[in-house]
Amino acid sequence: MSPAGKRLGLAAAISAVVVLLIWLGVKSRREPVVRGIPLSEWMQIENKNSDEYRAAVAEMDERCVRWLIRELEWSPTSMQTRLDGFMFRVLRQPIAPEDRPDFRAAAAFTLSKLGSWAQAAIPALRANAAMKVRGPRAEMAGSMAAAALVLLGADSLDAWADNLLSPTNIFWRTYASGAGLLHTNAAPLVPRLVHAYETTTDDEIKGRITMVLWIIRSNPALSVPIFQASLTNDNGQLRFQALVGLYYFGPESKPAWNDVVTLLSDSNSSVRRLATNTLRRIDREAARQLGIESN
């Protein structure tokens, strides 16, 4: 073959390799489809506890994990983040209009269900859990990531609780909100949380514990007395959180009945309304005898 032919052949070979690499790159970044539905649509499904969603998670593979990691690594523009913070602080709106869907929290939630498949996502989850940029979207992503790290075995429940209970951790809500994903998986923490409540004089720490106990919703024998103790706190928000816990435990909250009755005349209208609903939930017939009619 002539030198010109060799050069032409080499150029063709290099071009073929370049085209193949580009194709492989595009293919690797292409959004995975699970059960005939793009993964981004699964991220937007409201009921992530449905059988349909669980079936989809069962079919997710390494390509899905890579896509979810890329979503975790995405971040909104600094302008969007500042706007989020403004909307939440001043207007009490959860988020500003999105420049694009933010799947970070949903990605962390989904990865928490993928077991060993999700091990490659640990660094991205950890980065989200440690994120110091505030705003409701970032906070939710951090909360889901912190809980996912526990569910995937990368962090311990005690380490999670350390962050929740630390008086110096200004980002404790990341862990309190993440209790929603841990739910009864965090049940082993209840004795520790109860002990922390009983040994602290810090009302903020007591509020954190009260909130998390009703989210975990486990061990009423230990949790209900904590809610009962919080009912007499001067902080209206703490009384409200305690009532939420008693409401969710329902009939198991009967030992707190008389304390809840006293809140029917509370100065806080939200507390009064919730006290009424809590009494109905605990014992509808006894509530009726108090003049609280069913609704």
Tell me which of 228 and 291 has the higher pLDDT: 228
CA-to-CA distance for 128 and 142, rounded, in angstroms?
5
Domain that holds residue 132: 49-155
Same domain, 151 and 198: no
Tell me which of 133 and 102 has the higher pLDDT: 102
Classify residue 44: in a domain, yes or no: no
Show the 3-state SS of the chain. Answer: CCHHHHHHHHHHHHHHHHHHHHHHHHHHHCCCEECCEEHHHHHCCCCCCCHHHHHHHHCCCHHHHHHHHHHHHCCCCHHHHHHHHHHHHHCCCCCCCCCCCCCHHHHHHHHCCCHHHHHHHHHHHHHHHCCCCCCHHHHHHHHHHHHHHHHCCCCCHHHHHHHHHCCCCCCCHHHHHHHHHHHHHHHHHHHHHHHHHHHCCCHHHHHHHHHHHHHHCCCHHHHHHHHHHHCCCCCHHHHHHHHHHHHHHHHHHHHHHHHHHHHHHCCCHHHHHHHHHHHHHHCHHHHHHCCCCCC
Mean pLDDT for 162-169 is 94
The pLDDT score that the predictor gives to residue 291 is 87
Mean pLDDT for 232-259 is 94
- List beta partners, residue 38: 33
Pick the range with the lowest mean pLDDT from 50-54, 83-87, 196-200: 83-87
Would you say residue 28 has pLDDT above 80? no
Tell me which of 4 and 123 has the higher pLDDT: 123
Classify residue 88: in a domain, yes or no: yes
Would you say residue 20 has pLDDT above 80? no
- Domain with residue 193: its CATH number is 1.25.10.10
The pLDDT score that the predictor gives to residue 72 is 94
Would you say residue 17 has pLDDT above 50? no
The pLDDT score that the predictor gives to residue 260 is 96
Would you say residue 89 has pLDDT above 90? no
Same domain, 74 and 142: yes
Query: How far from 88 is each of 91, 93, 94, CA to CA, in Å?
Result: 6, 5, 5
Same domain, 151 and 73: yes
Pick the range with the lowest mean pLDDT from 76-80, 95-99, 202-206, 225-229: 95-99
Q: Report the mean per-residue pLDDT for the chain.
A: 86
Tell me which of 24 and 266 has the higher pLDDT: 266
Classify residue 182: in a domain, yes or no: no
- The answer to whether 217 and 186 have CB atoms below 8 angstroms apart is no
Would you say residue 23 has pLDDT above 50? no
Same domain, 151 and 192: no
Would you say residue 101 has pLDDT above 90? no
Would you say residue 164 has pLDDT above 80? yes
Classify residue 236: in a domain, yes or no: yes
Same domain, 66 and 118: yes
Question: Is residue 261 packed enough to be buried (19+ CB in 10 Å), middle (13-18) or exposed (0-12)?
Answer: middle
The pLDDT score that the predictor gives to residue 137 is 80
Q: Closest Cα partner for 130 from 171, 162, 167, 168?
A: 171
Classify residue 126: in a domain, yes or no: yes
Would you say residue 48 has pLDDT above 70? yes
CA-to-CA distance for 64 and 22, rounded, in angstroms?
20
Claim: this prediction has a pTM higher than 0.85: no
Would you say residue 186 has pLDDT above 80? yes
The string over 68-86, giving b where at least 16 C-beta atoms fall within 10 Å of a residue's C-beta and e elsewhere, is bbebbeebbeeebbebbbe
Q: Closest Cα partner for 213 from 186, 240, 232, 233?
A: 186
Same domain, 133 and 213: no
Same domain, 128 and 212: no
Give me the sign of the Cα torsion angle 230, 233, 239, 243.
Answer: positive
The pLDDT score that the predictor gives to residue 210 is 95
Pick the range with the lowest mean pLDDT from 77-91, 116-130, 227-241: 77-91
CA-to-CA distance for 151 and 173, rounded, in angstroms?
18
The pLDDT score that the predictor gives to residue 139 is 87
Would you say residue 18 has pLDDT above 60? no
Classify residue 203: in a domain, yes or no: yes
Would you say residue 206 has pLDDT above 70? yes
Classify residue 273: in a domain, yes or no: yes
Mean pLDDT for 260-279 is 94
Q: Closest Cα partner for 279 from 267, 197, 253?
A: 253
The pLDDT score that the predictor gives to residue 285 is 93
Mean pLDDT for 216-231 is 96
Mean pLDDT for 146-157 is 96
The pLDDT score that the predictor gives to residue 134 is 64
- List beta partners, residue 34: 37
Same domain, 147 and 65: yes
How many distinct structural domains can be found in the chain? 2
Classify residue 263: in a domain, yes or no: yes
The pLDDT score that the predictor gives to residue 11 is 47
